Structures are given as C-alpha cells and as structure tokens.
A = this chain, B = another copy of it.
C-alpha cells in the first residue's frame, strides 16, 4: 500500500488531496482546500496553512507528498507568495518525515489527462473518473491536488515496472519480449 498527499500550494487557497494505491486499485481518501483570511497579516495566514497541513498529515498518515513545482510567476511579488506557500508544504513534509516529490503542471496534466496542456475541466473530469468519485464536490485547487497525488502514484508505478524488468535475468527479459 502506498498513500500520498498532493498539495497545490498557495497562501490564499491551498488545495490538498489524499489518495492510496492498494492491490485492488486507487482509492480516494480526502480532498479539500485550506483557505486563509485575506484580511489577516501574512505570518498568521502562513501559520494557518502550516497548522492545517500538519493536522491533515497526522489524520491521513500518507508516506509521501506530491507538490506542484512552479517555474513561472507573473512577477517577483507573486513568485515570493508562491515560494511562501510552497515553503509551508515542504516544512510540514520534513517535520512529518514524508518523502517529497515535485511535479511541474505540464507533467501532471500529461500523466492524468494524457495531454500536457489539458484544461482545468479535463483534469478534473479525469481525476473523478480515475478515482470513481463522480458525486464528490471538488474545488479546482482540490482537484489539482488530487491530480498531483495521482501523477505521483502513476509515475512511481511505471518506475517500479521498469525496475522490475531491470531486475529480471537477461534470458527472461528476452522471453518477455518474444511473448509480446
């Protein structure tokens, strides 16, 4: 079993989504948003995010965190804000001893919707489908966080398969390719 919490970081709205993979398949466990009061000073808002992330990790006990890695920002101030939000997630991961994996938005879209430039609605619909949660209400940031969790689980399963093939004796590998 493997359980991962996806985080779509932000200082105003921070999305989270928890997914586990068992032998039977993928299970949706939780998703939602941490929202901070825009009237509060930034230190207090960051503390709200940090406290809630720790609470969510303690509640759902994931063993890894999948975090959005950004490369672009509209300006320096928004890059600072993004860095602050991401820092709360990274700190919580370190404090709770979770392994951290980072994925760029295009990687997530490609992995979940099969297309690196998929729109928000396409990603949300594929997230619902993969997890069988047609009736669960999902905020955009919560859907993005679930997509991050799914991206990690899918990619790590591919990596595992590649590893398994690599560990096979050479003769088996040849048989395998003939059988195909």
Residues of A within 8 A of B (CB): 41-44, 46-47, 50, 70-73, 76-77, 79-84, 86-88, 90-91, 93-95, 100
Partner among B42, B79, B82, B100 whose Cβ is within 8 Å of the Cβ of A90: B42
A81 touching B83 in the complex, CB below 8 Å, given contacts A43-B93, A93-B43, A95-B47: yes
Among B73, B84, B93, B100, the residue within 8 A (CB) of A87 is B84
Tell me whether chain A's interface is mostly helix, strand or loop, or mixed: helix
Contact between B84 and A44, CB atoms less than 8 A apart: no
Copies in the complex: 2
Across the interface, A46 reaches (CB within 8 A) one of B42, B77, B80, B94, namely B94
Known contacts being A71-B76, A73-B76, is A47 close to B91, with CB within 8 Å?
yes
CB distance from A52 to the nearest CB of B (A): 13
A138 to B153 alpha-carbon distance, docked (Å) = 48
Contact B41 A100 (CB under 8 A): yes
| Contact partners of A95 in chain B: CB under 8 A | 47
List B contacts of A93 (CB < 8 A). 43
User: Which B residues lie within 8 Å of A84 (CB)?
Assistant: 83-84, 86-87, 90
Could you tell me the distance in whole angstroms from the C-beta of A124 to the nearest C-beta in chain B? 27
Write out the residue numbers on chain B whose beta carbons fall within 8 Å of the beta carbon of A73: 76, 79-80
